[in-house]
Each structure stands twice: as structure tokens, then as C-alpha cells.
Amino acid sequence: MAIIDRNSILFEGPLTANTTGPAVALNALKLPGRMEPMPLRLSVTESFKTDEVQGITIGLEESDSASGPWTAVPGASVSVVHSAENPALTAGARPYHRFLPQGVRKSWLRLALGLTAVSGKSASQGRIFAALTREEDLPYEAALMAGR
């Protein structure tokens, strides 16, 4: 389990349309993306229905101030395809980078989420949680535990 500062939460809640998360300050870092790897957790906390959602696009935007203007972080955009044959957006999925991308250079960061719905449908379920964390948060497996 990771220790998460509430000021480092990039997004939390349902994703039913294109949206951006709150601005998160990185102003204690001179060049945020060039420092030691900073863990970034993005998890699907409630599955998206394959008959409603075709996929999502996840990206980061940066700025010199909390009010903008915002620009896309180079190399930070990821598109995730979601289908009945390949359900990539199920609960527990981690469909994004594990660390802050090296292209981050500015003092403020926010998450940009794009939702691609199935034609004629809208998303009725699906939740995302994203935050910068103090340490990498990967689940333990039996093979990693002493005595197992």
C-alpha cells in the first residue's frame, strides 16, 4: 500500500466524458521529469463496459501556473483500446506509465482523459484513480514474500 498525499491526486472518480483533473503542484522540483523516477499510479477502480466504451486516451499537461496555459507533456500520451476480445479497462488494470514521464519540465501538472464511447452510447460506469506517490505501488505476489 502506498502513502498518498491528497495534494498529489491527479484524478479520482467516474469517467463518463472527456475531462481534466485538478492542477497538482510540482514546484519543489527544478526539473520534475529529470529527477529520480517519481512513481505515478493510475488504476481503473471500476470496470468500463465494453458495449459502451471503445477506449480512453490518457495524457499529462503541464504549466508554469495552476491557471494555465496548459501544454501536453511530450511522450506522455497513451491510448488504451477496450473491447470484448481485449477488455483492457477492467477493475485493477494499470494502463499507464509507472513513473512520471521524463518530458515534464514545468511546475504544475494535470491529467487529461479522453473517452471514446461506442457510437450511440454513453458511459454509465467506469472509475479512474491517479496520483503521484511516494513509492512505487506494485502488489506483492506470493513468490516475493519470505517463507512462501
pTM: 0.84
Quick one: pLDDT at residue 2? 59
> What's the confidence (pLDDT) of residue 27?
67
CA angle 12, 66, 72 (to 5 degrees): 75
CA pair distance 116, 137, nearest whole angstrom: 28
Write the pLDDT tens digit of every residue in 15-60: 999 999 999 998 665 555 556 678 889 999 999 999 999 999 999 9
- Owner of C-alpha cell 483500446: 81
Chain segment 125-148, per-residue pLDDT in tens: 999 999 988 777 666 566 655 665
pLDDT value, residue 26? 84
| The predicted structure's pLDDT at residue 34 | 59
